[in-house]
Amino acid sequence: MPDRKTPVRRDIGRYINDTLRDRYFAAGDALLAKGAPIRSETDVETSFGTTHVYRYGPDDPAAESRTPIVLIHGSGSSSAMWYPNTPALSADRPVYTFDTPGDPGRSVHREPMWQPERAAQWMDETFEALGLDRVHLVGSSYGGWLVINQVHRRPGRLASVTALDPGGLEKVGLRFFAWIFVSLFATFAPRKLRPRLAAWLEQPVISDDELRTWIQKGVRAFRIRRPAPLPLTDAELGSIRTPFYLIMGKRSLLVHPERQLERVPRLVPGARAEILAATGHGPQIDHPSLVNARMLSFMEEADSFRPGPGPVPGPTVARNGREA
């Protein structure tokens, strides 16, 4: 009898073939090599697939005991995107990065987890398997939706949450998808044009050869199978009591920064919100030193905070990198 291929599921992210996957892995490894040294890698089994986890650590033994950071990447990406951030963050405390199942990376996706409760369950199971009882959670773009969803649904393990130009605050609009399409097209432009296009689109990927190669190979190699996430309601955001930090790019096309600068601190008690100039959707890539320092300062403050009946810290609102 002829061999029967396993039917391709339409709700599971997948690689097109092993050759394209391996080329993408090689491009990602080149980026990872630019970040902090990886202390260990591990695969964690969850109800939704296998999650690949990287661990980074400080050289100072005393810093090893500090509350760790967990970084969640954006859609169509993997842990390699954090290479500008891991050196500074892991010098201060342990750092973990998760390859989200359903995105290109070394995780293996087996069951859909785009639904809010399933996404929160996946993250909680990963924390549990790693023995992480208390973490500072950071997410970018789609990873921003994942961390906001987590702090709303399962905040018990979270010391703080930082959302970098995140999903989850507004419905993803046509302007964002158009920017993604134009940015991808621009990665194929002649070398001389790329710096100009990168500045115009606020897209550093275009002018960085290693980032550009990595993104192109990921688009060719992997198919994402999930809808765009729905935003949290005002009531859902208002339920958050964990220290919360929102950083947005002034030229973001995913959110309306001024709108969220007013809205989030009004809804989330004690939330800190900030708009950074000279950036769009990637503040942690465009301004890594600034963003790393701001996040570490926020986490230091959050480490001394414990939720209870007393007042939460007051809100902080800033524009263009300067306190308003």
Which CATH number fits the domain that encloses residue 112?
3.40.50.1820
| Cβ–Cβ < 8 Å for 96, 69 | yes
Indicate if the alpha-carbon torsion angle 282, 41, 25, 91 is positive or negative.
positive
* Assigned domain for 199 exists: no
* Assigned domain for 209 exists: no
Would you state the structure tokens that stand for residue 233, as one six-digit string?
């309601």
167 pLDDT more than 70: yes
Q: In the predicted model, what is the mean pLDDT of the chain?
A: 88
What confidence tier does 173 reach under pLDDT thresholds 50, 70, 90?
low
Q: What pLDDT, on the 0 to 100 scale, is given for residue 297?
A: 97
What confidence tier does 8 reach under pLDDT thresholds 50, 70, 90?
confident
* Assigned domain for 210 exists: no
| Cβ–Cβ < 8 Å for 36, 103 | no
Share above pLDDT 70 across residues of the chain, in percent, rounded to a whole number? 81
| Domain span at 147 | 14-172+222-323
What is the average per-residue pLDDT within 123-135? 98
Q: What pLDDT, on the 0 to 100 scale, is given for residue 198?
A: 59
* Assigned domain for 237 exists: yes
What global pTM score does this model have?
A: 0.89
- 3-state DSSP percent of the chain in helix, strand and coil, to 5: 45, 20, 40
* Assigned domain for 182 exists: no
* Assigned domain for 248 exists: yes
Count: domains in the chain: 1
d(CA 222, CA 220): 6
d(CA 235, CA 254): 21
Would you state the structure tokens that stand for residue 263, as one six-digit string?
């809205």
